[in-house]
Structure 1
Amino acid sequence: MEKEMQMQKYIAVGCVLALSGGAFANVRVIHGSPDTPAVSVFVDGGNTVGSPVTGSPVIPSLSFRQDSGYLAVPSGDYTFKVTPEADPSLVAIDAFASIDENIPVSVIAIDFLANVRPVILVDNRTTNPSVAQLRLGHFVPDAGAVNILVNGSSFLTDVEFEDVTGYFELAPGFYDIRVVDAVSNAVLQDIPGLELIANTNVSAFALGSVAGETFGVSVFVDAVPAPGTAALLGFAGLAAVRRRR
């Protein structure tokens, strides 16, 4: 049965995420710009948009499709500066945001290098022991609208670039996922036998470029319940999503 798209509103750069102080927030950075080389991420306190990069990067090197894992950052006002790893004097992204300790977020660099910019998503890190929770997003700048089929049936239609769903609650198990062009019905990617595990939240984002033949879906782990698993959150779903062999 076709699901109704539940669009998650991502947070525009420069807006406030219900600021409060005295505690730590969970912030994750994802490199989703297909033609942008490896980057460094600098985080400055306060609104320093337009100022030169100073100090050492919080994330020294992040390549396309990689994420930083969740970083513990004191809640407050920050400017995120993203530069090429090879030349920190060139600032590709210079964005201000206020971070609240109760709102885990992902900062995703999207689009081609000429138009690279961040979007900030609010993540769900509350798991449900009975179901898997899956969020989907379209961040392929040169792909038109896509349709998503699950186990051969229509699941979402006309998903546009920069569309992000809310979290769907799905029964644990194996799923065959197909992404097709909404107009031509050409298959962009098949993901056979993807296993979703109960008590785990993941985000599956379409990244890359159609023209560059790098279109692909990357899966990132948003939450797992077991203690001591925080280190696994930076490995793009390896701990919680498996393909049937």
Structure 2
Amino acid sequence: MVETTQVRIGHCCPDASGVDIYLNDDRAFDNVKFGNVSEYASLQPGEYEIAVVPKGEDRSKAVIDETLTLKQGQDYSVLATGFADDIQPLVLTDENGDVPQGKCHARFVHCSPDAPKLDVRTTDGQTLFENVGFRKASNYEPVDAGTYDLELCRAGTDEVVLELSDCQFEGGETCTVFGIDTASSLEAIITRDAGSPAAKGGGKRGRAY
């Protein structure tokens, strides 16, 4: 049996309305709204035309139309990023392998088009991710399982641009922290990507929970 690949879609364009996602000529995701990250869809590995289309419009109206080669056994996140007049895809390879029970493998993805480079740290001074710019993702880092209060700071400074309370990093899981929206109204989404039964297939997601 051929091992599949998994793909999920994220809408990170702050001034764009809902979108439909086409894989080749088939509409695979309906009305994905800003700030949402879909669950994973299992696909056969191979080459796909991925089109992002304003909700309800014909595929010919695509604002993103890219060819992606999806490898066997690999997971991907495909994110629509930027303002509406400069939408571009950010394609990430997701490392959703086994994680020790006492650790959570976490990364930060910067999707705020006009925000500066950012650091992510705990309120007790532990830096988790450093100097991540727009349309960039940090490496995955092992974080001790637990609940944290986080701060997103202008890179290299103590200037806090967003505070996140009670962020849960569960042992044995992989998660992603997405910084989204504009610099003046910065938000965060934390997705649980893999590990526990609740996280399989794209997982639990929400705004800075």
Aligned to 1:12: none
For 2:176, which of 196, 203, 208 is the aligned residue? 203
Structure 2 residue 50 is matched with structure 1 residue 80: yes
* Equivalent-residue separation in structure 1 for 2:120 and 2:11 (angstroms): 23
The residue type equivalent to 1:63 in the other structure is: K
Where does structure 1 lack aligned partners over 5 or more consecutive residues? 1-20, 45-53
For 1:40, which of 1, 7, 20 is the aligned residue? 20
Aligned to 1:133: 105
Once the 2 structures are TM-superposed, how far is the Cα of residue 188 of structure 1 from its aligned partner? 1.5
Instruction: Give the TM-score, by structure 2 length.
Output: 0.89
Q: State, as a whole percentage, how many aligned pairs show the same letter.
A: 20
Residue 183 of structure 2 aligns to a residue whose secondary structure is coil
Residues 132 and 138 of structure 2 are in contact (CA less than 8 Å); yes or no, is this contact kept in structure 1?
Answer: no
* Structure with higher RCO (Cα < 8 A, 6+ apart): 1
* Greater strand share, structure number: 2
Deviations 1:142-201 (A, max 9, x none): 011223221331514432212211111111112111112237754221012212110111
CA gap 1:64/1:157 in 2 versus in 1, 3 angstroms:
same
The runs of at least 4 consecutive aligned structure 1 residues that moved more than 3 Å come to 182-186, 228-231
Once the 2 structures are TM-superposed, how far is the Cα of residue 34 of structure 1 from its aligned partner? 1.0
**Superposed CA RMSD:** 2.3
Aligned to 1:50: none
Where does structure 2 lack aligned partners over 5 or more consecutive residues? none
The residue type equivalent to 1:146 in the other structure is: L
* Equivalent-residue separation in structure 1 for 2:203 and 2:148 (angstroms): 23
Residue 205 of structure 2 aligns to a residue whose secondary structure is coil
Aligned to 1:236: 205
The residue type equivalent to 1:143 in the other structure is: A
Residue 161 of structure 1 aligns to a residue whose secondary structure is coil
* Equivalent-residue separation in structure 2 for 1:201 and 1:108 (angstroms): 18
Aligned to 1:68: 38
Once the 2 structures are TM-superposed, how far is the Cα of residue 87 of structure 1 from its aligned partner? 2.0
Structure 2 residue 132 is matched with structure 1 residue 152: no
Aligned to 1:28: 8
The number of aligned residues is: 206
* Equivalent-residue separation in structure 1 for 2:84 and 2:203 (angstroms): 23
Residues 67 and 234 of structure 1 are in contact (CA less than 8 Å); yes or no, is this contact kept in structure 2?
Answer: no
CA gap 1:196/1:183 in 2 versus in 1, 3 angstroms:
closer
